[in-house]
Amino acid sequence: MRFLAWLAASLLLSLLVVFFLLVAALEPAPLVTRGETISPASIAQAKLLLARNDPRRLARGDERTADLPAALIDDGVNHLANRLLHGRGAFVMGEDSAQIRLSVRVPGLPGPRFLNLGAVFKEAEGEPHVASATLGSLPVPAALIELLMASAIKLAGFGDDWQLARQSIRRLMFEPGRGVVVITYVWEPEILDRALALAFTPEDLLHLEAAQRALAGLLDHHGPRARVPLPEILGTLLAHTGDGSLVQRRAALLVLATHQSGQSLVRLLPQARQWPRPRPVKLILLGRGDSAQHFAISAALAAWAGEPAANAIGVYKEVEDARHGSGFSFADLAADRAGTRFGQLVADASPRLNAALGRTLTDADLAPALGGLPEYLSESEFQRRFGGSGNAAYAQVMAEIERRLAALPLYR
C-alpha cells in the first residue's frame, strides 16, 4: 500500500510539475504572426518538385537528391499548423541549421496566452533529429521533444509511416543562398502505399466507390455529349445518394471533380478500375462548362485540403493560363471562389448547406453572376492592367467578386 501511495504521489507531482512548466512557458505574444494563405508560387514549386521526383518512376533502393524550396516548406508548416492545431507555423533556415516555429493560442485564460515552440534541426547524415528546442523562453531537452513528437505521431496512428519516411533520408543540408533544403533519400515503394492509405481510409474508399457508381447512374440516361446543369447533379449526389456525413460528401466532391477534370480515379486508386466510369457528359454552371469545372475542382480541394490551398491553386491556374493557355480570367476565379466557399461549407457541416440541399439547387445558389469580370487576358495585358496579384486594381476586382459571393444566401 505504501508503494502504491508513493507511486500515486509521484505521478501527481510529475503532472503538477509539467502543468506549472507549461503555464510558465505561456507568453502574451505569438512567436509566429502571419495569415493562413498559401502562395500560388508554392503551388508551382510543389508541382515542379513532384514532376522531378515522380515516385512512379522510381525503383526500390534508388537514391535521389531533391531540392526542396524553403518557401514551400514554410507554407507547408504553416498550413499544417493551421489545419491540425488552429495555430501558425514557420520554417526559418540558417547556414547549417533550420528552425520550425509554432504558435498556438491557449483558450480559457485571461488575456491572450500563446504556447510558442521552436525546434532546431542541424545538417546531418542519416535521418533528421531535433538538435535543440525551446518552449516559450524555457529550453527543453531535444530528446524530450523527439519523444513527444514520436508519441503524438504514434497515438495518431502514423508511427510506422513516420519512421519509414525518416529512415529513408540519408542526408540533410541547408542552402540559404539558393533558398533550398537538400535531401538525399533512398526510395521505398511502401512510402507511397502508406501515403495513399493515410490519404484514403477504408471508409473513404467505400464512399468513393458509392459516389462513383451514383454519378455514373445519374449521367447514364443523358446523351454522351449532353449539357447538364451542375446543380442538378451536385444536389442529388450530396443529398440523396449517401448518409450526409462529411466522409460521404467529400467523396462525392472528389468523384465529381475528377470527372470534371477529365481524369480517372485509377491514377490515385488502382481499385477504381473495377468501378463504372461516368459518361463524358458536359456539366455546366451559369451556362458555361469552364465555370462548372472550376467550381467542382475548387470545392473538392477546399473540402479535402482547406480553403487556403484551394485559393492558391485557383490563382496559380489562372496565372498559367495567362502565360500558356486561354488567358487570365477573373470569371474563372469567381467560379473558383464559389467552389471553395462551397467546399468549406461541406467541411464545416454547415446548417446553411443542409438547408439548401433540402430544396432544388440552382445556378444562382452556387455562383455569382460573372458579367463585367475581365477574361482572356494575356500575360502582358494582365500585367498592364492589373500589375500582379498585389496591385490595387487586382484587389478591386477580387473585392467585387467577394461582394457578389457575400450577396448569395449560401455564403453569407
Q: From first to last of its 412 residues, what are the pLDDT tens digits of the chain?
A: 454 444 455 455 444 445 545 566 788 999 999 988 888 888 888 878 777 877 767 778 888 888 989 998 999 889 888 887 889 999 999 888 999 999 999 887 787 889 898 999 998 887 788 899 888 888 888 888 778 777 766 765 666 666 777 778 888 899 999 999 998 988 877 776 766 666 788 888 899 999 999 999 999 988 877 899 999 999 999 987 788 899 999 999 999 999 998 888 887 788 889 999 998 899 999 999 999 999 999 999 888 888 777 777 777 677 777 776 788 999 999 999 999 999 999 999 999 999 999 999 999 999 999 999 999 999 889 888 987 666 889 989 999 999 999 999 999 8
Question: What pLDDT score was predicted for residue 17?
Answer: 47
Inter-residue contact 285 to 363 (CB < 8 Å): yes
Q: What does the alpha-carbon distance between residue 240 and residue 286 come to, in Å, rounded to a whole number?
A: 23
Helix axes 392-406, 330-347, angle to 10 degrees: 50
222: helix, coil or strand? coil
CB atoms within 10 A of CB 166: 13
CB atoms within 10 A of CB 238: 23
Question: What pLDDT score was predicted for residue 21?
Answer: 54
Closest of 411, 364, 369, 373 to residue 394, by C-alpha:
373
Helix axes 246-261, 202-220, angle to 10 degrees: 50
Question: What pLDDT score was predicted for residue 112?
Answer: 85
Helix axes 202-220, 230-240, angle to 10 degrees: 140
**Partner residues linked to 92 by β-bridges:** 99
Closest of 407, 302, 399, 304 to residue 365, by C-alpha:
407
Question: What pLDDT score was predicted for residue 152?
Answer: 66
380-385 long-range contacts, CB within 8 A, separation 24+: 381/327, 382/322, 382/327, 382/328
Q: What does the alpha-carbon distance between residue 56 and residue 381 come to, in Å, rounded to a whole number?
A: 39
User: What share of residues in the chain are helix, strand, coil (percent, to 5)?
Assistant: 55, 15, 25
Q: Could you tell me how many residues make up the chain? A: 412
Question: What pLDDT score was predicted for residue 388?
Answer: 65
**Partner residues linked to 63 by β-bridges:** 186
Q: Which ranges of 241-370 does DSSP label H, i.e. alpha helix?
A: 246-261, 289-305, 307-324, 330-347, 351-357, 363-366
Question: What pLDDT score was predicted for residue 295?
Answer: 95
Question: What pLDDT score was predicted for residue 156?
Answer: 59
Q: What does the alpha-carbon distance between residue 372 and residue 319 come to, in Å, rounded to a whole number?
A: 19
Question: What pLDDT score was predicted for residue 127?
Answer: 75
Whole-model pTM: value is: 0.75
The per-residue DSSP string of 267-301 comes to GT-GGGGGSPPPP-PEEEBTTBHHHHHHHHHHHHH
- Domain ranges for the chain: 24-197, 200-411
All three cell numbers of 135 = 518552449
Q: What does the alpha-carbon distance between residue 122 and residue 97 come to, in Å, rounded to a whole number?
A: 4
